[in-house]
Structure 1
Amino acid sequence: MVHRLGHKIGEGGCAEVFEWEDGSKIVKLAKPNTVTAALEAELHHCRIASSCGLPVPQPYDLVTVEGRSGIVFERIDGETIMKRFVDRSVEQYRMQQPLDIREDFVNARITAQLFHQIHSHSVAHMPSQRENFKHNILAAQYLTETEKAAVIDQLDRLPMKQQLCHGDPNPGNILLRDNDAVIIDWNNASTGNPEADLAEYIIMIRYAILPPHLPHEAMVALDATREASIHIFMEEYENLSGIGYADIEPWIAPVAARKLIADGISDAEKKMLIDEIRRRLDTPYP
């Protein structure tokens, strides 16, 4: 069978996404910074999520296209929460409408519902969230060895759970199709504590600096609604699970430290994360 690579429809830090065959599928082709083993792991994680009945694109198989490894998935026709947020920000500015921070600008309720659904599953044959965190924290270049040891000590004192976690609750990873949400990019999935996913979301909303190619109006809207969005997200998740903000607080420093190895966040954002980690560790600045 001759595979047909169609139009490019998206791109992230580690892969490009193209139409595949008749257009009912997509292929996610790795960039040079992504090894085949990472794609194999993502395919495995997505298959487990699919077997749990979670709203994910149907995963098909690994392929090689012009020397590049890739994964074939079902194509989901929808828009990401990020795109909807950006479009809404620009439209409100164009219409000269004031921002109402009580509105759910980043679909935080839908995100909370989706992650509660994910966290309701316990699965086997998945990476250990805690071991992944320790590996990432030790690899972080921006902390001293003493700081890394202090963060890991804090992590070791936290209770251990065995629930399915996604690992990257980015609004760009959640597609909205009618009234349904579908979540993609399972490469960071693991078995561990839901509180880590929640801390990741809180840190991202609180500190994210949007890419410079996005309209300025989106950054203005994000800055105006950050804490209100976190409140909406946590209110919904706590109503569903009983897990509140106080349960997530101890996870902020370990998750922030783990994020320091990410390629997709700017040095300015990493500086804010370092400040947050050091404040929580009560470590004096050098």
Structure 2
Amino acid sequence: MELIGQGREADVYALDEYRVLRRYRQSGPTEPEARVMNHVAGCGYPVPKVYEATGTDMVLERLTGPTMLEVLARRPWRVGSLGRTLGRLHDRLHALPAPEWLPRRFATAGDDRVLHLDLHPGNVLLTRRGPVVIDWRNACAGDPAADVAMTLVLVGGAEVPGPAARFGRGLLVRSVRKGCRTDPAGRIREVAEAKLADPDITPAEAAWLRRRASGTQAGLPPDRRSGAR
């Protein structure tokens, strides 16, 4: 099999021109992830088709197109439009009621929307049919504000070299907020604390998260629309 992609937790192999194998290196099962993908797909949300899920392996539809992150690296002037696209993907997802079997996280009474909790530019493929969201490992039911907050924390804390890139990161955060209707401010500190438990974060990311979790820099760049929340 040809290795065509690698992430922090999984490798992706080409099976043929229509299918790929996504294989997690250490943990399973993949059946819960496949179940939530099938659920949101049935509601019209853009995800790859799932052909099979067993143990640490998932056989998925093979999609053609770069990730949003790859496009941002090559065409940074598109940061505003792509950030708004990411925000709209949140809105579409959070319109979906969560099924009863989906685990709850970041939830209070009445919070029953589907959350992705890893919806960053590296997990959005820009295909001919439009943006498609991948990697549903962390999906749960809960408060949409936590999902948007997690995206902003992931983007804001990412290690990006150079002053121009840091400016672009801030613009991406603001554009995500402009693109979605949910105000994440009330969940930023809680989400930053939760992300600190991730063993894969770098020392620089951990330092950034601690500042938000401690409240010394709890905020993120504001949405600057007139009348914004």
TM over 0.5: yes
- Aligned residues of 2:211 and 2:217 also touching (Cα < 8 A): no
Select the structure that is richer in helix: 1
Unmatched runs of 5 consecutive residues or more in structure 1: 1-5, 90-99, 132-157, 211-215
- Aligned residues of 1:57 and 1:74 also touching (Cα < 8 A): yes
Identity %: 25
Offset of 1:178 from its aligned partner? 3.1
* Residue 113 (structure 1) aligned with residue 88 (structure 2): yes
* Residue 76 (structure 1) aligned with residue 68 (structure 2): no
Opposite residue 234 of structure 1, the aligned amino acid is: R
Unmatched runs of 5 consecutive residues or more in structure 2: 219-229
Quick one: which of 105, 116, 122 aligns to 1:172?
A: 122
Offset of 1:25 from its aligned partner? 0.4
Opposite residue 69 of structure 2, the aligned amino acid is: M
Whichever of the two has the greater Rg, that structure is 1
Name the counterpart of 1:183.
133
Name the counterpart of 1:225.
168
TM-score where L is the length of structure 1: 0.70
Offset of 1:160 from its aligned partner? 4.5
Offset of 1:40 from its aligned partner? 2.0
Q: Secondary structure at the match of 1:130?
A: coil
Output aligned runs, 1:27-42, within 5 Å.
27-32=21-26, 34=27, 36-37=28-29, 39-42=30-33
Q: Secondary structure at the match of 2:75?
A: helix
Opposite residue 130 of structure 1, the aligned amino acid is: F
Q: Per-residue CA shift, 1:3-51, capped at 9, x if unaligned?
A: xxx311101111100001x32100011112x2x22x2221122111112
Work out the CA distance in 2 between the residues paired with 1:29 and 1:232: 33
* Residue 203 (structure 1) aligned with residue 149 (structure 2): no
Offset of 1:179 from its aligned partner? 6.3
Opposite residue 79 of structure 1, the aligned amino acid is: P
Opposite residue 127 of structure 1, the aligned amino acid is: P
Work out the CA distance in 2 between the residues paired with 1:264 and 1:112: 25
Offset of 1:227 from its aligned partner? 2.6
Output aligned runs, 1:37-76, within 5 Å.
37=29, 39-63=30-54, 69-76=56-63
Count of equivalent residues: 217
Work out the CA distance in 2 between the residues paired with 1:205 and 1:194: 17
| Aligned-residue RMSD, C-alpha | 2.3
- Aligned residues of 1:173 and 1:184 also touching (Cα < 8 A): yes
Structure with bigger RCO (C-alpha 8 Å, 6+ apart): 1
Opposite residue 79 of structure 2, the aligned amino acid is: D
Offset of 1:188 from its aligned partner? 0.6
Work out the CA distance in 2 between the residues paired with 1:164 and 1:251: 16
* Residue 237 (structure 1) aligned with residue 147 (structure 2): no
Opposite residue 227 of structure 1, the aligned amino acid is: G
Offset of 1:203 from its aligned partner? 1.4
- Aligned residues of 2:106 and 2:146 also touching (Cα < 8 A): no
Greater Cα shift, 195-204 or 221-230 = 221-230
- Aligned residues of 1:82 and 1:106 also touching (Cα < 8 A): no
Opposite residue 15 of structure 1, the aligned amino acid is: A
Change (3 A) 1:45 1:119: same
Quick one: which of 227, 251, 257 aligns to 2:187?
A: 251
